[in-house]
Amino acid sequence: MPQHALPLAQIAQLLDVPEDILRALISARGSDRSDTTLVGLTVAEAARRLGIGRTKMYEYVSSGAIHSVKIGSLRRIPAEAVNDFLTRRLSANDFGAAA
């Protein structure tokens, strides 16, 4: 443990939160440690940002609807490509009347 790290009990005390509730919040966070500063997203990260499944994201990547690049054996989607995709979809009036 780094020198500056506090035990969880002390953190809970400082926050005036019961330790068991703090532990529950930490475990509920799970492994989703999304980094909003990433510029090259994995297919799963890009899909999560759009709220769609990986399979659908692969369809968009394969069709060229969302731009991606290969870096070695890895496929990465530029973060701005996700925004560009949504902008194009808005322009195409895909957010019209609900079905």
Give the pLDDT score at 99: 52
12 burial (CB, 10 Å; 0-12 / 13-18 / 19+) is middle
pTM of model > 0.85: no
CA gap 12, 21 in Å, rounded: 9
Give the alpha-carbon dihedral of 37, 69, 44, 98, to 10 degrees: 90
Please name which of 38, 78, 44, 72 lies closest in space to residue 58, comparing C-alpha atoms: 44
* Greater model confidence, 78 or 95: 78
Q: Is the model's pLDDT at 36 over the cut of 50? A: yes
User: Which candidate, 21, 25, 23, places its Cα nearest to that of 7?
Assistant: 23
Q: Decide if pLDDT at 22 tops 70.
A: yes
pLDDT of residue 1: 45
